[in-house]
């Protein structure tokens, strides 16, 4: 339970509604800022304007997955006026307060550090990344189906990277009957790919793997699908780049060669906002409850 915790939510998208619901269910005292146009009224939550008083009383400040932009502006699809965090807000924040977000930009990292506030970024946690790989893979499959004229079953697919998304992607493609090759650089990853019944190859040998490939799924956030690699692909190859912006594919060269290459960021929030919200809600409620236990333990 989160009884006695004052959680303030600033902005967000449909995913945040699941988190708010969970916090109310767990008896937190919930304040919503930047939710003016939200149609459903949450019983047990209070809508307010951003003010110093609210921040002073907050134990857990919950920002959207993308945190703030480089000027401290917090996006909200539920409000037409932007909410902006400035130095005067950080100055009054209680030093025991914790700021939670998905992935912070330099503005939020720098301000949290300058004002000695604890910042927790949840997207890179293993548990969240593994749960999130499920809607990510479903979204990638959807894009493959929409952008090819062949079935995934029987297609030749390459997955680049055997991290949290790469494992789920390769496993799902295999289960659907694709011929799956996976490129990785670590010997233990190559061994795991073999153990999974897939075809491993060293990333350095990527050029030799692509001359009959139908679909390439990249999960490596570094430039790996270079012009030299793209030049050896058949014209019908589809490239789906799942890695974070700017991705790992030379899009300019792919376009020049007439090969369809798609950057596919933020799939969980697009294809399954409710599930993506529930994943965040489960983790955040656990983290805030641990924060409360730590505080009680040290007082
Ligand atoms: P991860 O677990 O860290 O896996 C990353 C993979 O990339 C690992 O196999 C890693 O191999 C490899 N890698 C990293 N740098 C490399 C380099 N310089 N050369 C060769 N291999 C390299 O990350 P993840 O959770 O799977 O996420 C993968 C990417 O997808 C990230 O950019 C993440 O932000 C993004 N993502 C996108 C979506 C979406 O909706 N599109 C959703 C979730 C995640 P090593 O172990 O050898 O380093």
Q: What is the pLDDT of residues 180-233, one digit of tens each?
A: 999 999 999 999 999 999 999 999 999 999 999 999 999 999 999 999 999 999
122 near 179, Cβ under 8 Å? no
Residue 41 has pLDDT above 80, yes or no: no
Q: From the CB of 21, is ligand 1 less than 6 Å away?
A: no
Q: From the CB of 267, is ligand 1 less than 6 Å away?
A: yes
Residue 99: closest CA among 55, 49, 44, 130: 55
The chain-wide mean pLDDT, for the chain, equals 95
For residue 253, the model assigns a pLDDT of: 98
Residue of the CA atom closest to atom 23 of ligand 1: 163
Burial label, 121 (beta-carbon count in 10 A; 0-12, 13-18, 19+): middle
The model's pLDDT over 99-158, given as tens digits with 9 standing for 90+, comes to: 999 999 999 999 999 999 999 999 989 999 999 999 999 999 999 999 999 999 999 999
Q: What percent of the chain has a predicted confidence (pLDDT) above 70? A: 100
| Ligand 1 atom at minimum distance from 186 CA | 47
| Ligand 1 atom at minimum distance from 269 CA | 40
Residue with tokens 């189906």: 145
Residue of the CA atom closest to atom 25 of ligand 1: 164
Separation of CA 137 and ligand 1 centre (Å): 13
Lowest mean pLDDT among 48-57, 133-142, 153-162, 286-295: 286-295
Domains, the chain, in order of start with CATH, read 6-124+272-298 (3.40.50.720), 128-265 (3.40.50.720)
Q: From the CB of 242, is ligand 1 less than 6 Å away?
A: yes
169 near 139, Cβ under 8 Å? no
The CA distance from 160 to 209, in Å, is 11
Separation of CA 242 and ligand 1 centre (Å): 9
Residue of the CA atom closest to atom 31 of ligand 1: 243
| Ligand 1 atom at minimum distance from 241 CA | 41
**DSSP one-letter code for 209:** G
For residue 246, the model assigns a pLDDT of: 84
Give SS3 for 85.
coil
Instruction: Encode 5-28: b = buried (16+ Cβ within 10 Å), e = exposed.
Output: bbbbbbbbbebbbbbbbbbbebeb
Q: Which residue from 125, 162, 163, 261 has its CB within 8 A of the most atoms of ligand 1, so it is best to mutate? A: 163
């Amino acid at each position: 339970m989160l009884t006695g915790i004052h959680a303030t939510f600033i902005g967000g998208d449909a995913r945040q509604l699941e988190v708010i619901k969970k916090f109310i269910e767990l008896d937190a005292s919930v304040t919503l800022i930047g939710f003016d146009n939200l149609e459903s009224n949450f019983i047990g939550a209070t809508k307010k304007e951003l003010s110093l008083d609210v921040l002073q009383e907050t134990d857990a400040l919950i920002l959207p997955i993308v945190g703030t932009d480089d000027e401290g502006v917090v996006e909200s699809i539920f409000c037409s006026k932007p909410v902006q965090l400035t130095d005067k807000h950080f100055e009054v924040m209680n030093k025991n307060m914790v700021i939670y977000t998905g992935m912070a930009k330099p503005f939020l990292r720098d301000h949290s550090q300058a004002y000695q506030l604890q910042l927790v970024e949840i997207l890179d946690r293993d548990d969240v990344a593994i749960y999130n790989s499920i809607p990510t893979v479903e979204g990638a499959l959807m894009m493959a189906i929409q952008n090819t004229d062949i079935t995934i079953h029987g297609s030749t697919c390459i997955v680049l990277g055997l991290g949290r998304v790469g494992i789920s992607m390769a496993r799902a493609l295999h289960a659907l009957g694709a011929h799956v090759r996976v490129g990785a650089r670590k010997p233990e990853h190559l061994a795991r790919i073999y153990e999974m019944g897939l075809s491993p190859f060293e990333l350095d040998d990527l050029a030799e793997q692509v001359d009959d490939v139908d679909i390439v799924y990249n999960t490596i956030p570094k430039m790996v699908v270079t012009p030299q690699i793209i030049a050896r692909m058949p014209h019908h190859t589809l490239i789906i780049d799942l890695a974070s912006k700017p991705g790992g594919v030379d899009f300019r060269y792919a376009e020049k060669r007439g090969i369809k290459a798609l950057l596919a960021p933020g799939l969980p929030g697009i294809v399954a906002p409710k599930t993506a919200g529930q994943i965040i809600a489960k983790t955040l409620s656990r983290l805030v409850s641990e924060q409360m236990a730590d505080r009680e333990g040290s007082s």
